[in-house]
Amino acid sequence: MKKSINNINIPPFKPSKILKNRHIQTLYASFFRKDFPLEYNIEEFTLSDGDFLDIYYTKDLLPDDAEAVCVIFHGLAGSYKSPYVQGISYELKQYGIAPVVMHYRSTSGRDNRYPQTYHSGKTDDTLEFLHELKSRYPDKKLFCTGYSLGANMLLKLLGELGKASFIDAAIAVSAPMNLETCANIMQKGFSRIYQEHLLKELRASLELKYQKHDMQKLIGLKKEDIKNLKTFWDFDEAYTAKIHGFSSAKEYYKQCSSKQFLHNITTPTLIIHAQDDPFMHPSVIPSQNEVSSSVTLDILPNGGHVGFINGSLLKPDYWLEKRIITYLSNSF
């Protein structure tokens, strides 16, 4: 039975003492949250350049039968399997909003056709799919929710669209709005563990490219040297920047950081961010005068990176998803 989106009771975000720890907030769902009973219809969406994106629609609530559609943009090395993607997908469909998971190139488990994949500021693929989705369902509300890398990409897109935006509402969670600062933070302390976990996935994906493309010619890196890419700076200098036409990792970070686009956003947008996010420095967080009047800032002292889990270890309450739903309810 569908829940009423206008009858949501959300408590304040006050996690227990143990759950306040930023690393527990960041890791808890990945280790302890159960998978959701979700089944998907999968579309191979063909891009104008001949490559493709894998789009996942929940079988029991497709856009045709929903009151609105929400496109979900996952984080670096994420997918439909990511706990935060499953959690919000399940919650959205309870309220009659069809969740649509847009995988970037190569993130669904299938390698894409070209040497290029995706990055934190690659908005053209997203815009192409969103235009198609809007043309299919012109009378449906169109929402977007982005997490981490996907949140940065979404905010950049909203700023680029400005007054031409056709998105009804958007939410950005734990966005690395200054990519250079975040790349530096990931080299320090416990954050290096997160960096290595993510880089392991990125290095493996890059190695696959050598089976189909002359990557050494394209980026000047031998396959056996991929193992030496130990930081995001290394990886983005060697691969991301070169293959996507940036002069350097620094230039990539400069052009694709979303913070500079926030003042141009006209779409009703909620930014949810924790001051203790271990992936970034608090200086990444924008002040009210750095965003447009269309942007609402939910800046919380705790929450980690894509965490925001209320309650206790034994009785967790996923506050983040309830906050997203309450924000979207304002658009009905």
By CB neighbour count within 10 A (0-12 exposed, 13-18 middle, 19+ buried), where does 41 fall?
Answer: exposed
Tell me which of 103, 119, 273, 305 is the catalytic residue.
305
At CA 57, angle to CA 52 and CA 269, rounded to 5?
90
Nearest to 71 by CA among 94, 92, 52: 92
Judge contact between 126 and 152, C-beta under 8 A: no
Residue 257 among the catalytic residues: no
Q: Tell me which DSSP letter residue 193 carries.
A: H
Per DSSP, the three-state class of 235 is helix
Tell me which of 125, 168, 276, 277 is the catalytic residue.
277
Dist. CA 45–CA 318, nearest whole Å: 32
Instruction: Return the biggest CA–CA distance within the chain.
Output: 58
Judge contact between 170 and 154, C-beta under 8 A: yes
Residue 165 among the catalytic residues: no
Neighbours of 188 (CB within 10 A): 11
Residue 305 among the catalytic residues: yes
By CB neighbour count within 10 A (0-12 exposed, 13-18 middle, 19+ buried), where does 126 fall?
Answer: buried
Tell me which of 106, 148, 191, 257 is the catalytic residue.
148
Dist. CA 241–CA 246, nearest whole Å: 5
Q: Which residues are catalytic?
A: 148, 277, 305
